Amino acid sequence: MAAFDTTLCIFAKAPRAGAVKTRLAAQIGAARAARLAEAFFWDTLALAERAPALRVVVALSGDAHLLPGLRDRVEVWPQGDGDLGARLQRSLRRALAESPRALAIGTDSPGLPSTLLANARAALHTHDAVLGQADDGGFYLLGLSRCPKELLDGLLEGLPWSA
């Protein structure tokens, strides 16, 4: 078995002004919102790199050139088309094809402790799924282990996603 038994997919948008943090941009301006999104991204990547025994990949929407040096640090996967559920399913399917366990996080919680990622990874050794529930009713982390294709294909369909 490889040194990494779990793939962590960081879901991110390239920090292009006007395309990220649009609700916040209405208050602080598109350029500042894009800089904040970029800072959140790099902080999230650093968090992931500190967590033990995780293979880190970035599932990116947009142009990786807006994140200089990214491809030198991690593998970058395109998110592709569809709503967030479809894009998550696609990346989780790919991750599970390459390792026994997969985690997905976004970049809106850069202050998460790296122990949380380690605990989620450990939980997937004895559970089929882990979920980090957010205060707003959504989730900040989704992890799967040994997930049959039939279950994964419908897991995130029909859910409402915020913009």
Contact in structure between 141 and 116 (CB atoms under 8 Å):
yes
Does this model's pTM top 0.95? My answer is no
> pLDDT value at position 1?
39
Contact in structure between 152 and 89 (CB atoms under 8 Å):
yes
> pLDDT value at position 136?
81
Q: What is the pLDDT along the chain (163 residues), one digit of tens a residue?
A: 346 899 999 999 999 999 999 999 999 999 999 999 999 999 999 999 998 889 999 999 999 999 999 999 999 999 999 888 889 999 999 999 999 999 999 999 888 988 999 999 999 999 999 999 988 888 899 999 977 666 667 666 666 666 5
> pLDDT value at position 139?
87
Domain of 136: which CATH number? 3.90.550.10
Q: How many domains does the chain have?
A: 1
Domain that holds residue 137: 6-155
Domain-located, residue 138? yes
In sign, the C-alpha dihedral spanning 132, 51, 10, 40 is: positive
Domain-located, residue 117? yes
Domain-located, residue 69? yes
Domain-located, residue 63? yes
Domain-located, residue 163? no
Domain-located, residue 61? yes
Q: Which residues pair with 103 in a beta bridge?
A: 8, 143
The Cα 77–Cα 11 span in angstroms is 10
